[in-house]
Structure 1
Amino acid sequence: MKKSILFVLSVLFAIAASAQNPSIFNASLESVTVYRASAELNHKINVNLPAGSSEIILGNIANTIDQNSIQLAAPANVTILSTTFVKDYLKTENKSLAYIKVEDSLNLAKRELNGIHNKKSVDENLLVLLDKNQTVGGVNSGLSVAELIKMADYYKTKQLELRNSIYGYQVLETKQQTKINKLQQQLNELSADKSGTRGQLLLQIMTKEATAAVFNLSYLSPSASWVPFYDLRAENLTAPLKIVYKANVVQYTGIDWKKVKLSLSTGSPSQNGTAPILSTWFLRFGEAYNVGNQMMQNRIQSLESRAPMKAKETMEIAYVPDRNLATQNNNALNTSFDLDIPYDILSNSKAHSVTLNTYNQPVNYKYYSVPRLENDAFLLAELTDYEKLNLLPGDANIIFENTYVGKSVINPNATTDTLNLSMGRDKKIVIKREKVAEQSGTKLLGSSKKQTFTYEIRLRNGKSEAVNLLLKDQYPVSTDKSIEVELISADGANVNTETGVLTWKLTLKPGVTQKVRMSYAVKYPKDQSIANL
């Protein structure tokens, strides 16, 4: 009888325990679409469901998700009553072999440090005990001189031994602590998940009969992003420009992406998609708001002469990927890149470089210089019809003549039909701008002061071939009627009177020094001063 009662109670307890502890099914990550500031993760989960109402947990999902974006597809015979997102702070971290090796070394080093510390403490205690017993010889007057000398030698030898031992342990402690710090830093680098958490979905399920089902789960997580960057490669001034389109992908979702199908999209699903509506604009009196002066921008003008290139050659190389590592899909709102091979991206907040496409583009090379700001010539590559490449703003590494020369920025959000890509500085073109003292000066004319400025720009082409150079300088523009500005000489430059910018289109022959001059005068009341003149 007692055995029957115990059996029934054990069965009831097992049933109650199973009801209180939902079954956990880990989700398998199948594919990821990374947007500029978020990512859509798609999982597949195999579950076993009992008949009736039950609770299950879908584990191994991102630690931060947009709960409004959760989409869970289940078979028709399964009814999902509710979904609740929770974080799993007690997950067992998946450790790599390298992580385990460093972790074991760190634990061993900590044990060795603790042993050194214990040995040092014992010697320190012995030294304290020895110091307290130094008065023994003084209170025992029956000791002979020989015995006192013997005891003094003992104290001297023992103290010296203990102090040297303590110092040795201190040195070992310092070395061991340095080793522990390095191992800890290495362990932090190898840590695949610095967040320490993963997400879970708690589901309320209803089924008429026990069944094995497959769930498909997708959601948006803000814990991932990608930024474009480029390699700009040019072998010489006559070769096409090679544009290597790349992406830096970062994710800290709490789960490693292992062999997943990866797509990158220029879209932003988290951005508000509601079109704005104008409302009535009512004017009212109030304090004036100073918006400041609008700075007038000066565009880099295109040279009229183009690098010679046959039409047939242009058709053969324009917009054709030299190395296609991703399938590019364009629609009315965004562009996506579907990577052709599966990728591994760890959840460690580190940038993972992905190569998308490589293009060989026909360009027109020219040089550009503003010696009033910098005495250097910058090589520019003029790219037309660039909208077909679907470029995004980003940094670019510049490799010219197989040498890394620096970084630049690509900004395709321009309103012109030509995109100017800065290819860095060319030190073989020497430019110097100096003030001509004998043609500059100040004169007093009644109640006015007139200042004259003359500048000479010397340019020397140290290359073996002629180059085209777009040279720019400027004279001031007055916004006050009491300040008069006169352009005296422009030396053949194209003058923009609205911005005060002078533009010379020059052809510099190899080994030849060329000069241009500009001169202007500023007249204003002599009792006034112009701070930025």
Structure 2
Amino acid sequence: MKYLLLSAAVLCASGAAAQAPAVFNAGLESATVFRVGAELTHKARVTLPKGTSQVVINNVANALDENSVQIATGPGITIMSATFARNFLNNEAKSPAYLKLEDSLKAAQRDLTRTRNLRTSEEGTMALLDKNQELKSGTAGTSVSELMKLAEYYKNKQVELKNSVALLLEKEAGQQKQVDRLAQQLKELADNPDASGGQLLLQVLANNAVTTDFAINYLTPNAHWTVYYDLRADNAADPLKIVYKANVMQGTGIDWKKVKLTLSTGNPSQNGTAPVMSAWFLRYALPVQMAMAKRQAYQNTIQSLESRAPMMAPPPPPVAADAAGGVDAYTTQNENQLSATFDIDIPYDIASNNKQHSVTLKEFTQPAKYKYYAVPKLDPDAFLMAEITEYERLNLLPGEANIIFENMYAGKSYIDPNATGDTLNLSVGRDKKVIVKREKITDVAGVKFFGNQKRQVFTYEIRVRNAKKEAINMLLKDQYPISTDKNMEVELLESSDAAVNTENGVLTWKLSIAPGETKKVRLSYSVKYPKDKVIANL
């Protein structure tokens, strides 16, 4: 087979320009979908005359990187040039979505025409009845009783016809709205450049007349996939089941029918050039720049302090799994130094509508160590956490996870396999049977003045009750503030033997709580500062 790597070229051969191009349709064989973009492989059966000719290949993606196009041909055939087109010779193939909508519009127009014809016929009958009534009423020798019967007949018939016309007018109005709506949708689809596929225009030289297959391969930006997970745990003693899934979306203008699908964690559109450092020259700032720099430094300090509280929240729950777990029977995972791929044996149909199409990649059953985690200052509930080790050798990606605990949907979590450390903590959900209460103790709090200084004392009690039938291990967190000014003094007065991080003020208690037991801890601290000052976030 001969392969040609094509750049953006222009059909310019004078001999071939005068010939009518031969048009062929390409069938999609396989798709490798990246996090951004996809690599598509087509096959087109092409008949060529001897010599130079122009060929139009229909049903390729509506956008592609011409530098990535490769075409494999048979012996004795040379691809002289190629370019991408959207509407060559006004003969662009209509997409399946366009054809379906076009058929719906034609059917709606036929229904409207039938209703309109029936309504016109009924109105004609009414006119004929009126004319006939005038003739009959003027006929000599007609008795009064006969006139009465005739009047009753015309009255009933007039009412019947008028009611029928009224219903037909109502039906006609609805059908007209349907026709207008479909016509507008068809116009929007026709005006949308991404609603249908594109074309490749080739200039080909053949040594002999031949019918052969062209294998066409290229990159398109109009497809991608995102990862998500299902996390299942029957109880806090069983292993954790992790179902690795993908949402595949594509808007290439061509529907993918029975396609061999491969998903890759790589990104071919990402810049592969390594960065190069240049000299770093220092210079003095202008007065205005100095003021802006000071203001920015102050804002950075405040943001840094405020960001410390979320550190205590349940960490974004990453996930890991044992490589020895059961991979889905129809999916093969391959890994290299830069990415991983999932080859799926089942052919897939994915419409060109940019809607999510769910694909199951693999399943793992992973032993996990469970514990409870609570930060009552930020959230009143206790969270069941699963500790998982040896995750770094898996090519998991950041993504949302659906949590199913004890056969019930428990909400959503998040997986971040890029977290550092040997252990990943995965939130399995909230457990209402572990009750956490945090209350301010007013009798040991208060404000005192010492000269020009003010001293405030804050005391909190946290109670944790285990309403479950088994003992639990609890990781409980709270915090005290950190001073940012030399005139502001913060002192930790009581911590109930918590592990104290003096850099961020976070206190951590590790509690073992028996069934039905309630444990209490206390946190107390004081803040001393000038009485003419106000602390905004105390």
Q: With structure 2 as the length reference, what TM-score do the two structures score?
A: 0.79
- Residues 387-431 of structure 1: CA distance to partner in whole angstroms, max 9, x if unpaired? 223110001000001111111110111111111111111111111
Asked if 1:236 corresponds to 2:235, the answer is yes
Query: How many Å separate the matches in 1 of 2:118 and 2:527?
Result: 80
Query: How many Å separate the matches in 1 of 2:426 and 2:186?
Result: 42
Alignment match, 2:6:
none
Aligned residues: 474
Query: How many Å separate the matches in 2 of 1:496 and 1:361?
Result: 32
- Counterparts of residues 269-288 of structure 1 (less than 5 Å): 269-284=268-283, 285-286=285-286, 287=289, 288=292
Query: How many Å separate the matches in 1 of 2:174 and 2:74?
Result: 62
The match for 1:532 among 518, 533, 537 is 537
CA contact (8 A) 2:53 2:203 kept: yes
Alignment match, 1:46:
45
Alignment match, 2:215:
216
Structure-2 change in CA distance of 1:111 and 1:162 (3 Å): closer
Q: Give the deviation of 1:171 after TM superposition.
A: 5.1
SS in 2 for 1:350: coil
SS in 2 for 1:259: strand
Structure-2 change in CA distance of 1:177 and 1:235 (3 Å): farther
- Counterparts of residues 303-322 of structure 1 (less than 5 Å): 319-321=324-326
SS in 1 for 2:523: strand
CA contact (8 A) 2:112 2:172 kept: no
Asked if 1:385 corresponds to 2:385, the answer is no
Structure-2 change in CA distance of 1:272 and 1:194 (3 Å): closer
Alignment match, 1:513:
518
Structure-2 change in CA distance of 1:233 and 1:87 (3 Å): same
Asked if 1:434 corresponds to 2:439, the answer is yes
Alignment match, 2:93:
91
SS in 2 for 1:404: strand
Tell me which moved more, 288-297 or 505-514.
288-297
Q: Give the deviation of 1:443 after TM superposition.
A: 0.6
Query: How many Å separate the matches in 2 of 1:187 and 1:407?
Result: 39
Alignment match, 2:369:
364
Which residue identity is paired with 1:106? Answer: A
Query: How many Å separate the matches in 2 of 1:205 and 1:98?
Result: 34
Alignment match, 2:31:
32
Query: How many Å separate the matches in 2 of 1:211 and 1:176?
Result: 52
Q: Give the deviation of 1:319 after TM superposition.
A: 3.2
Query: How many Å separate the matches in 1 of 2:455 and 2:504?
Result: 21
Structure-2 change in CA distance of 1:59 and 1:381 (3 Å): same
Alignment match, 2:61:
62
- Counterparts of residues 57-456 of structure 1 (less than 5 Å): 57-88=56-87, 90-94=92-96, 106-111=108-113, 172=171, 195-284=194-283, 285-286=285-286, 287=289, 288-289=292-293, 290=296, 292-293=300-301, 294-295=304-305, 319-321=324-326, 323-456=328-461
- Residues 284-338 of structure 1: CA distance to partner in whole angstroms, max 9, x if unpaired? 2241431512356586799xxxxxxxxxxxx9x7632253431111101111110
Which residue identity is paired with 2:462? Answer: I
Alignment match, 1:9:
none
SS in 1 for 2:430: strand
Tell me which moved more, 16-25 or 346-355.
16-25
Query: How many Å separate the matches in 2 of 1:387 and 1:301?
Result: 23
CA contact (8 A) 1:51 1:209 kept: yes
- Residues 48-90 of structure 1: CA distance to partner in whole angstroms, max 9, x if unpaired? 1111111111111111101111111223411211101001474
Tell me which moved more, 90-99 or 285-294.
90-99
Structure-2 change in CA distance of 1:180 and 1:75 (3 Å): closer
SS in 2 for 1:242: strand
CA contact (8 A) 2:33 2:262 kept: yes
Query: How many Å separate the matches in 1 of 2:274 and 2:509?
Result: 45
Q: With structure 1 as the length reference, what TM-score do the two structures score?
A: 0.80
CA RMSD, 1 decimal: 3.8
Which residue identity is paired with 2:24? Answer: F
Which residue identity is paired with 2:515? Answer: P
CA contact (8 A) 2:50 2:207 kept: yes
Q: Identity over the aligned pairs, expressed in percent? A: 52
Q: Give the deviation of 1:37 after TM superposition.
A: 0.7
Query: How many Å separate the matches in 2 of 1:515 and 1:49?
Result: 86
Tell me which moved more, 216-225 or 105-114.
105-114
CA contact (8 A) 1:194 1:348 kept: no
Alignment match, 2:150:
none
Which residue identity is paired with 1:468? Answer: N
SS in 2 for 1:68: helix
Structure-2 change in CA distance of 1:446 and 1:353 (3 Å): same
Query: How many Å separate the matches in 1 of 2:411 and 2:84?
Result: 47
Q: Give the deviation of 1:209 after TM superposition.
A: 2.1
Q: Give the deviation of 1:92 after TM superposition.
A: 3.5
| Structure 2 gap ranges (5+) | 1-14, 128-155, 315-320
Alignment match, 1:137:
none
Which residue identity is paired with 2:65? Answer: D
Tell me which moved more, 168-177 or 27-36.
168-177
Query: How many Å separate the matches in 2 of 1:97 and 1:207?
Result: 35
Structure-2 change in CA distance of 1:120 and 1:532 (3 Å): farther
Alignment match, 1:462:
467
Structure-2 change in CA distance of 1:108 and 1:428 (3 Å): farther
CA contact (8 A) 1:116 1:173 kept: no
Q: Give the deviation of 1:481 after TM superposition.
A: 0.5
Q: Give the deviation of 1:103 after TM superposition.
A: 5.3
| Structure 1 gap ranges (5+) | 1-15, 126-156, 303-314
Structure-2 change in CA distance of 1:435 and 1:121 (3 Å): farther
- Residues 346-381 of structure 1: CA distance to partner in whole angstroms, max 9, x if unpaired? 112111111010000011111111100110011111
Query: How many Å separate the matches in 1 of 2:510 and 2:53?
Result: 79
Structure-2 change in CA distance of 1:328 and 1:184 (3 Å): farther
Query: How many Å separate the matches in 1 of 2:16 and 2:81?
Result: 22
Query: How many Å separate the matches in 2 of 1:163 and 1:444?
Result: 93
Structure-2 change in CA distance of 1:531 and 1:251 (3 Å): same
Alignment match, 2:152:
none
Q: Give the deviation of 1:529 after TM superposition.
A: 0.6
Alignment match, 2:139:
none
Alignment match, 2:487:
482
Q: Give the deviation of 1:434 after TM superposition.
A: 0.9
Query: How many Å separate the matches in 2 of 1:168 and 1:373?
Result: 62
Query: How many Å separate the matches in 2 of 1:460 and 1:206?
Result: 82
SS in 2 for 1:387: coil
Query: How many Å separate the matches in 1 of 2:66 and 2:123?
Result: 56
CA contact (8 A) 2:402 2:411 kept: yes
Query: How many Å separate the matches in 2 of 1:181 and 1:464?
Result: 65
Query: How many Å separate the matches in 2 of 1:493 and 1:109?
Result: 78
